[in-house]
Structure 1
Amino acid sequence: MEFREISDEQWKFIKPRLPPQPITGRKRADDRKVINGILFVLITGCRWGDMPVIYGSRATAWRRLKWWSE
């Protein structure tokens, strides 16, 4: 299956539905990049270790999927 990154229109729909950035602590990784990384892995069926680095940390993407899935 072919992967396409989230469009600006899709992002306008998704962004307000995500948990807010914590006020304290370290700044969270870019949500849009992380979601694109998660979708890349889920759509292409590749291993997390093969996720392109342009989507940020593979471990962050995996943790975020786990967190958002709960």
Structure 2
Amino acid sequence: MGLRFEELTDEQWRFIEPVLPSQPETGRPRADDRKTINGILYVLLTGCKWSDMPEKYGSYVTAWRRLKRWQEEDIWKQIVKKLQEKAYKEGEMELDKDIIDSTCG
């Protein structure tokens, strides 16, 4: 059974955006980070298969690859930490570190 999913609010997005790598200066632009993060969170919190991620969040393959890369670069850990800090400050811990960390490896 998964957790309840809600898309990132504008305020949450502003809080985590600074930890994300900048867009590459050359080559193809990276898929929209906010949509991709919402897709990643959707899969992790609902427990659905990657292939069942709603299309409005972009390609599930892109989301999966981005999560793996961000895990390797410790960016995902920073994103989760920022969201937890924000939830803690607001008195609502909607993201459970143990669940997300164990899901992500």
Please report the TM-score for the alignment, with normalisation by the length of structure 2. 0.66
Instruction: Show structure 2 runs of 5+ residues with no match.
Output: 73-105
Identity of aligned residues (%): 69
Structure 2 counterpart of 1:45, from 36, 44, 47: 47
Moved over 6 A (4+): none
Distance in structure 2 (CA, Å) of the matches to 1:14 and 1:67? 17
Deviation at 1:31, TM superposition (A): 0.1
Q: Which amino acid aligns with 1:8?
A: D
Q: Distance in 2 between matches of 1:10 and 1:38?
A: 15
1:67 Cα offset (Å): 0.5
Instruction: Show CA shifts across 1:1-59 (max 9, x none).
Output: 21100000000011111011000000110000000000000000000000000000010
Unaligned runs of 5+ in 1: none
Matched residues, number: 70
Structure number with greater Rg is 2
Greater relative CO (CA pairs within 8 A, separation 6+): 1
